[in-house]
Structure 1
Amino acid sequence: MFKTIKKDLPASIVVFFVALPLCLGIALASGAPLFSGLIAGIIGGIVVGGLSGSNIGVSGPAAGLAAIVLTAIGSLGGYQNFLVAVVLGGAIQLLFGVLKAGVIGYYFPSSVIKGMLTGIGIIIILKQIPHFFGYDAEAEGADSFVEASGENTFSSLLNISDNIIWGSFIIGAIGLAILILWDRVLSKKGKIFQLIQGPLVAVVLGIIFYITTKGNESLSIAKSHLVSVPVPEDASSFLAQFSFPNFGVITNPEVWVIAFTIALVASLETLLCVEATDKLDPHKNVTPTNRELLAQGTGNIISGLIGGLPITQVIVRSSANIQSGGESKMSAIIHGFFLLISVILIPTLLNMIPLSVLAAILLVVGYKLAKPTLFKKMYSLGWKQFVPFIVTVLGIVFFDLLKGIGLGLAVGIVVILLKSYQNSHFLHIEDSTNGNHKMKMTFAEEVTFFNKGAILKELDNIPPDTFLELNVLGTRYLDNDIIEILEDFLLKAKERNINIKLLSKRGIVENPESFIEFFKKRPKSDLSLS
């Protein structure tokens, strides 16, 4: 793991600066103590990062669970009661891993996964633009269309002009310029610019700007527009920030319902992020999904035991890691240690970082996820790829991550059913002279009840006095529903003077008396009835 430390260390710094405000913002949006988000980020980096089989995935608290957490804390009567559900949710994830449920992630179409990445990129951009201008009505880490402040994503953008904080905007713009210059020009000029990352320079300048503009009425930045890490006065007050689960409520059925909900949603988000990060990985490593569920379950158990929020693999942190050159799990682990060390040793210094600078870092991450060229590429692949892709993007932007993916998957299934309907068979008219029709119908490799409509339509359209050749030589599976359709067609064929020749692995049959009897007598190597 240490062979790539030269790349992993700079990447871990970038991930740290991305993760820090998100951990705090998600905790705020969840109605949980701010420190709980940092605990989840630390455990997600050190514990889950160490156990995971992913080289570039980064875990931590996820915005997708914020609404569930907020509701659960209220319904269970307190945060310590909720922590029991987090621990149980982790145990259920361990069970998912043992049962090898990780395979679920592979059943999501590539177009939906790409739509997920693009949608998240757009959400990052839209959500960070207000912070970039100093308008912080919504906490960092929010990703739903309707915001807790009562605004929605677009109305908050329209309100920016009346709420610009010029100090925040100026240092945010300077930070964005540095990031673009570093990425496009300086990183190619020398090793020093690869070792020292642009985000670190932008953050340092942000702190200097905040200190030097104090007292300046037009440029000073208020504390409400800075990072807000809890600052303990001493060791005892630091330890007092940890919360512990109240296992006295473990017999409450509602605790178990919430635990299962957390396990299911967290596992699904993780598996989808694993699929997405593997696609972004320049080395195309394949993450063992069952091991990932075991790692996430372990992380959630530990996080819940010491007062942390639920953990998932998170695409924002993971993509920032990939784009910054991270190559092994060391970048995720080191970022976790950075979070731990910083909240212990330098929380006051962290609280001097303007949110607009961190917004600039996230704007670059969002743009790299949602490049305009990707829309053009997906469109060029045809409507079967583009429609599920764009539906996923719009669903994520206007609803949330899971609803967007659900909509994209639903459209993808409809496309599959439509193509299955169309591709069940091939009908060829060979000869139509002197009123004598000769037709060939070749069945696909697998023909299921989805294909009933298309086959019925074709059989009904066969004219009288036709010679029909049915070819099932290449068919490995023929649904019983299709055999019954063919059986019914035999009666119509006699009435319409349609002669049938059946080509199968058993040989050629002229005018079969019964398709059902024929297929029941087939050898095992022939067709299989459902």
Structure 2
Amino acid sequence: MFKNLNKDLPASIVVFFVAIPLCLGIALASGAPLFSGLIAGIIGGIVVGALSGASLGVSGPAAGLAAIVLAAITDMGYENLLLAVVIGGFIQLGFGALKAGIIGYYFPSSVIKGMLTGIGIIIVLKQIPHFFGYDDDPQGDWAFFQIDGENTFSEIFNSLNNISPGATFIAIVAMAILVLWETVLTKKAKIFRLVQGPLVAVAVGILYYLFTADSSSAMSISTDHLVNVPVPDSFDSFIGQFTFPSFEMIGTVQMWVTGFTIALVASLETLLSVEAIDKLDPHKRTTPTNRELFAQGGGNILSGLIGGLPITQVIVRSSANVQSGGQTKMSAIIHGFLLLISVIVIPNILNFIPLSVLAAILFLVGYKLAKPALFKQMFLAGWKQFIPFIVTILGIVFADLLIGIGLGLTVGIVVILIKSYQNSYFLHIENQDNGNKTVKMTLAEEVTFINKGAIIKELNNLETDSILILDVTKSRYLDSDIIEILDDFKVKAAERNISIKVISERGVVENPDSYKEFFALEKKPA
């Protein structure tokens, strides 16, 4: 884990700056003490990061649980919520023991891509008001309809009528620094790859605020547009920010229903994030999902015991980690330590950071998740991919994450049933010993995303220096998910010296350059 520190450390700094406003904003949106969000972020980075097998996933408080937490605090009180978080953590350990992590493999690629794109669009829309210095809606509140009666679009129109010149100016400067750093400077010298653009943008934002703080000019930034980390007066007041759960309601049905709800939603969001971030991983590594449930359960038990919000693996921080060049889970762990050190040592400095600068950083994260080119790519992939993709996006943007995923999955299942109602599917593995170990995998006439889990398991179990014979002579339909699995496995096969031979109607082909292109050719006459 330590040999990639030159990449993991800069990535952890970016994730740290993304995490601070989200931890605080989600706590605010949940009706919980601000410090509870920071506790969850610290434990999600250090504890869950250490226990998890995810290479690039980052855990912390999740916006998807804010409504559940708010309702629980309203009905039971904050100390009783903490007990529900602890119970939820133990239930997640049970999910891991029951190997429920395999559920994550049963979401089609079009839905996962729609989820990433939908999250990207929400990030962009939600950052526009903060970019212009209008902060009525706290960071981390991703809901379309808000408690104050506004919605995502009305907040944007309100921000355009309440533009803060100073906040907007420094946001534009920060955006220029980020774009220049990524597109030009990182290619010029090594120093620009070691020192990340977001760190420079934040430093410039702090200096701008300090130089204009005493000015009555319209270009100054008001204090309510800054990060607001709790600042303890002494060590005792710092310790006093930790809250411990009450066990008075442990025997009530309401407590166990709340704990199970937290466990279920947190586990689903985690498994969805795992599937999405594994697709973004340049090395195409596969996260052990059952181990991830154990890690999340352990993190939630500890978080609940010391006053933190419930934890999940979260897409925004994880995708920021990927885009910033993170290589191993050290980036997640280091970001947790940065959160811990900052709230102890430099909370006053953190409170000089303009939210508009952090909005600029998040704006670019959202844009990278929802690039226009992806819409074209999914449209060209055909209606069977495009419709679930669009439905998922609309559901996430106008409702919430789980509703969007549910709608996209429902449409995806209908599409698959329409396509495969005439045929069954099967997976046949045959071992042969001729020098190097040879494994023959014969694919059925119809192979869909339902087969993802079994195929991934068999591919991951292949021994180093072996030969894989992939027989597709009987296959008439291979889902895009299966072709993506084969293209992803090609990277790992090269690293493990696994030779691949494809037997098709065109004969035997060794190690195709691209399975996507190869199977496109298969549809044409030989």
Asked if these proteins are the same fold (TM beyond 0.5), I'd say yes
Which amino acid in 1 is paired with 2:8? D
Q: 3-state SS of the aligned residue for 1:158?
A: helix
The residue correspondences of 1:318-329 to structure 2 (distance < 5 A) are: 318-329=318-329
Give yes or no for contact 2:110–2:385 (8 Å, CA) kept in 1: yes
2:424 and 2:71 mapped to 1: Cα distance? 48
Partner residue in 1 for 2:232: 232
Which amino acid in 1 is paired with 2:48? V
Give yes or no for contact 1:138–1:149 (8 Å, CA) kept in 2: no
Partner residue in 1 for 2:317: 317
Give yes or no for contact 1:28–1:139 (8 Å, CA) kept in 2: yes
Aligned length: 430
1:149 and 1:59 mapped to 2: Cα distance? 29
1:154 and 1:11 mapped to 2: Cα distance? 32
Partner residue in 1 for 2:137: 138
1:150 and 1:299 mapped to 2: Cα distance? 35
Q: CA deviation at 1:216?
A: 3.0
Partner residue in 1 for 2:411: 411
Partner residue in 2 for 1:165: 164
Q: CA deviation at 1:249?
A: 1.3
Partner residue in 2 for 1:519: none
The residue correspondences of 1:84-99 to structure 2 (distance < 5 A) are: 84-99=83-98
Residue by residue over 1:373-410, the C-alpha shift from the partner in whole angstroms, topping out at 9 and shown as x without a partner, is: 00000000000000000000111111111111111001
Q: CA deviation at 1:148?
A: 2.5
Which amino acid in 2 is paired with 1:372? P
The residue correspondences of 1:508-523 to structure 2 (distance < 5 A) are: none
Q: 3-state SS of the aligned residue for 2:312?
A: strand
Residue by residue over 1:128-168, the C-alpha shift from the partner in whole angstroms, topping out at 9 and shown as x without a partner, is: 01100001110001111112332101111111221101110
Q: CA deviation at 1:219?
A: 1.2
| Structure index of larger Rg | 1
Partner residue in 2 for 1:524: none
Give yes or no for contact 2:423–2:445 (8 Å, CA) kept in 1: no
User: Which blocks of at least 5 consecutive residues in structure 2 are unaligned?
Assistant: 426-443, 447-473, 476-526
Give yes or no for contact 1:171–1:209 (8 Å, CA) kept in 2: yes
Give yes or no for contact 1:167–1:218 (8 Å, CA) kept in 2: yes
The residue correspondences of 1:13-412 to structure 2 (distance < 5 A) are: 13-76=13-76, 78-214=77-213, 215-412=215-412
RMSD: 1.6
User: Which blocks of at least 5 consecutive residues in structure 1 are unaligned?
Assistant: 426-443, 447-473, 476-530
Normalising by structure 2, report the TM-score: 0.80
2:364 and 2:58 mapped to 1: Cα distance? 18
Q: CA deviation at 1:445?
A: 6.3
Give yes or no for contact 1:138–1:148 (8 Å, CA) kept in 2: no
The residue correspondences of 1:478-493 to structure 2 (distance < 5 A) are: none
Partner residue in 2 for 1:502: none
Q: CA deviation at 1:422?
A: 5.9
Partner residue in 1 for 2:508: none
Q: CA deviation at 1:344?
A: 0.4
Percentage of identical aligned residues: 72
1:269 and 1:125 mapped to 2: Cα distance? 20
Residue by residue over 1:292-338, the C-alpha shift from the partner in whole angstroms, topping out at 9 and shown as x without a partner, is: 00000000000000000000000000000000000011100000000
Distance 1:4 1:422, change over 3 A: same
More moved, 401-410 vs 34-43 = 401-410
Which amino acid in 1 is paired with 2:326? G
1:182 and 1:52 mapped to 2: Cα distance? 32
Q: CA deviation at 1:423?
A: 5.7
2:216 and 2:52 mapped to 1: Cα distance? 48
2:318 and 2:147 mapped to 1: Cα distance? 26
Which amino acid in 2 is paired with 1:244? F
Q: 3-state SS of the aligned residue for 1:182?
A: helix
1:10 and 1:295 mapped to 2: Cα distance? 25
Residue by residue over 1:77-131, the C-alpha shift from the partner in whole angstroms, topping out at 9 and shown as x without a partner, is: x100110000000000000001100000000000000000000000000000110
Give yes or no for contact 2:27–2:37 (8 Å, CA) kept in 1: yes
Give yes or no for contact 1:227–1:355 (8 Å, CA) kept in 2: yes
The residue correspondences of 1:428-467 to structure 2 (distance < 5 A) are: none
1:160 and 1:90 mapped to 2: Cα distance? 39
2:146 and 2:183 mapped to 1: Cα distance? 35
1:188 and 1:248 mapped to 2: Cα distance? 60
Residue by residue over 1:40-85, the C-alpha shift from the partner in whole angstroms, topping out at 9 and shown as x without a partner, is: 0000000000000011000000000000000011111x10011000
